[in-house]
Amino acid sequence: MDRTDTMRRARILRWASLSAALAACAATLAAVSLTGWSLFQPDTRYMVAIGRWIVENGELPTSDPLTLHEGLAYICQQWPLCIAAAAIFDAFGEAGIRCAAAALDIAATATLWACTLDRGRTGAVHMAASAACGAAIAVLCNSTPRGIDVMALCACYAAGRKWARGGRDSLLAAFPAAGFAMAQLHGALWTVALMVPCCLILDGRLDRHGRLKALTAAMSTAAACMLNPYGARLLMVPFATMSANSLKSVGIGELAPWTEAAPAQAAAACTLVSALVLYRLRVRCRGGGRALLEAGDLLVLGTLMLALANVRNELFLMTSMALALSDIQGEVAGRGRGGRWPLRRCARRRSSPPSDAWPRPCRPRRQSRNRPRGRCPPSPPRGRSRAMP
């Protein structure tokens, strides 16, 4: 099989994998609609009503205008999406809202597929994981803009992984950009953009210089999230929800702890996370590395703790597990001829050779006729080390 056939086969496999993931997401959306679980839920109806109020009054509300209680403090955490939902509903009706929600879920599935694709390779594991995540996104993101959270997490993880493997420092700008976008589109979960920088700070591969850069990126992300119409008040929304005395009194099922809502699923998730982290450590040890926790391991463990706190974070756990699984595929099948992945320049630097070491022999270069031909330095004699005694 020549190189052309190999490239054509790889291209066919990539399109087949993407088609399988999108087909799984679309089939799950169709099944959800046929079972009576509509894509036009009360959350979407509230977004349409708030969007109409914003368009009519020309300002963002500071108190809830749709409640019976006067002066109730309110933060419209998704004001661009509310305006878009109102415009789509007024133009196309309920069918337009359903199509927009389905398109957002499919876009999130395609983003996750692209971020877990290892250097253009694909396989049965990647195809199955992408299809499973597509089905999970279709179920868990029902009538809510949670697909934006998945896309933000995937983009941040892809940028952080590329930077940790020797990419440019400009990749760290993806975190503040994602934080700014999340603060406008889904302010209650702006912490999604802060997950990967915090994991990079605790990454065992980085030294103090790399961790300082990751800390700077995390602080820049938090500052970028403050650039919203509500300022720093928006940043306290997720913490105020988590610090509530009784989440059951809120009446929202997704805010209940996972251990109480579905104990069997929580136990299975803990088992899968433990197996995944241990297998990642084993892969690195067999490759000659050290058994240190990396950003992918920390992200999986952190999202597991968040999912155990309330059910709404189980989508982040599935996404982080898919991203961590793609790292294993990259470490096993994506190595170059040199063996391991190139390490971060600021993480591990080889010590400079001694000043009295023998210079490396080089080949004579072609020089112009006006210049005298240079001579290469002598190579070290056989049987002696490169360093002078």
307 has pLDDT over 70: yes
Question: What's the pLDDT band for 227 if we cut at 50, 70, 90?
Answer: very high
pLDDT at residue 333, rounded to an integer: 47
Which DSSP state fits 254? G
Q: Average model confidence (pLDDT) for the chain?
A: 79
CA 128 to chain centre: 19
pLDDT at residue 1, rounded to an integer: 53
Strand partners, 54: none
For residue 143, what pLDDT is reported? 64
Q: Which residue has the higher pLDDT, 233 or 350?
A: 233
Rounded mean pLDDT, 49-75: 86
Cα 110 from Cα 174, distance rounded (Å): 19
Average pLDDT estimate for 157-179: 93
User: Is 314 within 8 Å of 300 (Cβ atoms)?
Assistant: no
Give the CA dihedral 207, 208, 209, 213, nearest 10 degrees.
Answer: 110
pLDDT over 80 (residue 10): no
Closest CA to 108 of 164, 58, 66, 147: 147
Choose between 21 and 129: higher pLDDT: 21
Rounded mean pLDDT, 270-283 = 91
Q: Tell me if 39 sits within 8 A of 32, measured CB to CB.
A: yes
Percent of the chain with pLDDT over 70: 75
Using alpha carbons only, how large is the chain's radius of gyration in Å? 26
What mean pLDDT is predicted for residues 30-39? 69
